Amino acid sequence: MTGSPPTTPPVADVGQQGPPPPPPTQARVVAQGVSKAFGSLVAVSDVSFSIGPGITALLGPNGAGKSTLLRILCGLSAPTTGRVLVAGGDPRTSADARRQIGLVPQQDGIFERDSVRSFVRLGAVLSNVDDPTGATDAALTAVELDGPIDRPLGAFSKGMRQRAKIAAALVHNPGVLFLDEPLNGLDPKQRRSMIDLFHTLGERGKTVVVSSHVLDEVERFGSNVLVIARGRLAAQGDFRAIRALMNDQPLRFRVRCGHTRRVAAALIAGELASGVTVAEDVIELTTENAPALRARLAHVCQHYDARLHECTPLDEDLESVFRYLVA
């Protein structure tokens, strides 16, 4: 998967005390002790992380604080406490930092009477792009927008408007992109195209932060994730590494082999499995000791002359990570 390795340890301890460490030299986006309160409601609480080039997925359910955090990172909202750096500057006060930012908000944020072309070109003009017309054409090509793009935006589908927003975020060639639920309204073919585009941008050294609550989308963006739960940073890093740290939790496996009943009985007797269901050639089981199961399964199958075809973990995906961390 595309994206640079995380620039902080795989899992963030959000309860850690003491001053935050200095940002890594490769970090393009840094949050240090960021909180945001609206009266008595705390939407974001003491969040710290650093992100380098590549794709990072910001994962959390609706209402977790993702959009509030993105607004802070873009400089659209001031944190109640803490600080944010984008491309080395504070986006609230540094014009250089703001020039490095491209934003796709979750809300439509378009001028419905404008044409697609004029909407994207306006972004180029406001960003003082040297050749706004050429930049507009390049951005429209990147998001695969063609056809009747001189019609008003309000007359187009949600998917067309979404791609227009992505083009407007790209038109000034920013180094950092914040994309809030960017695939909403896109059909499957358009989703694949936009995910490919995000990977290409990450491979070119841009920092792409994609917010989503759709787990299968996040896995396609890349393995580096920030998990936000109830306004706090629950974990950061490669979701597989995070899942590996949860080996003290029960894990589920699918085993495809011969003599399933004998093998299942032996696994239960050896305290390697519980919660077992057996079909003709498939065992689904829960284990409290995944390393031991992996180490001894082949020997058990060999003992019963049972051909082992497959041993597949059923929990090493983002849904399992997310379910555990939120719970």
pLDDT at 121: 93
DSSP code at position 154:
G
Q: Is the pLDDT of residue 209 over 60?
A: yes
CATH architecture designation of domain 251-315: 2-Layer Sandwich (3.30)
pLDDT at 246: 67
Confidence of residue 247 (pLDDT cuts 50, 70, 90): low
What does residue 216 show for φ and ψ, rounded to 5 degrees? -70, -30
Residue-wise burial string across 204-228, b where 16 or more C-beta atoms lie within 10 A, e elsewhere: eebbbbbbbbebebbbbbbbbbbbb
pTM for the full predicted model: 0.76
Strand partners, 54: 207
Task: Please give the average per-residue pLDDT across 47-54, as a whole number.
Answer: 94
Cα-trace Rg, the chain: 23
Helix (H/G/I), strand (E/B), else coil: 304: coil
Task: Give the tens place of pLDDT for each residue, 251-302.
Answer: 899 999 999 999 999 999 999 998 899 988 999 999 988 889 999 999 999 9
Mean pLDDT, the chain, rounded, equals 86
Least confident of 64-68, 108-112, 122-126: 108-112
Residue-wise burial string across 126-153, b where 16 or more C-beta atoms lie within 10 A, e elsewhere: ebebeebeebbebbbebbebeeebeeeb
Q: Is the pLDDT of residue 4 over 90?
A: no
Decide if 300 contacts 263 (C-beta within 8 A).
Answer: yes
Q: Is the pLDDT of residue 23 over 80?
A: no
pLDDT at 49: 94
Confidence of residue 248 (pLDDT cuts 50, 70, 90): low
pLDDT at 205: 94
Domain range annotation of the chain:
29-244, 251-315
Confidence of residue 3 (pLDDT cuts 50, 70, 90): very low
- Is the CATH code 3.40.50.300 the one for domain 29-244? yes
Decide if 118 contacts 151 (C-beta within 8 A).
Answer: no
Q: Is the pLDDT of residue 101 over 90?
A: yes
Q: How far from the centroid of its chain's Cα atoms is residue 316's Cα?
A: 16
The enclosing H or E element of 46 equals strand 41-51
Enumerate long-range contacts of 138-142, CB under 8 Å, 24 or more apart.
138/171, 139/167, 139/168, 139/170, 139/171, 140/116, 140/167, 142/167, 142/170, 142/197
Q: How far from the centroid of its chain's Cα atoms is residue 2's Cα?
A: 12
